[in-house]
Amino acid sequence: QVQLVEAGGGLVQAGGSLRLSCAASGRTLSSYTIGWFRQAPGKERKFVAGIVISGYADYADSVKGRFTISKDNAMSTVYLQMNSLKPEDTAVYYCAARRDYGVSHLTASYDYWGQGTQVTVSS
């Protein structure tokens, strides 16, 4: 069992930045592919970005050029740097881990989920 803990959410004005972090309690994430997803009220959970141990990263079209996913060397923590935030980025952001190698955009592909952290962007 992998327990994921997200941190870094909050309230920010449009155009601002936030950095989210995802860590696993008591272990590294190096054996997993890590994805960030988000869910706005009344909408389905959607892929935002993902990263594998090699550093290869993939992004949803809606965040390309604004968000950056990264990891520390040991992949003990994965980050999501969010710049040029827009009101439509407002959502609960979830970190997820999958045992299989490779970034997937599908929620069903991920085996473990964090509790989520709220990001609110005001206009």
**pLDDT in 10s for each residue of the chain, 123 residues:** 889 999 999 999 999 999 999 999 878 888 899 999 999 999 999 999 999 988 999 999 999 999 999 998 788 899 999 999 999 999 999 999 999 999 999 999 999 999 999 999 999
Max CA pair span of the chain: 39
Give the DSSP H or E segment for 95: strand 91-98
Beta-carbon count within 10 A of 99 CB: 12
The upper half-sphere exposure of residue 36, i.e. CA atoms within 13 Å in the direction of its Cβ, equals 34
Integer Cα distance of 58 and 74 in angstroms: 20
89: DSSP letter: G
Q: At 93, which amino acid appears?
A: Y
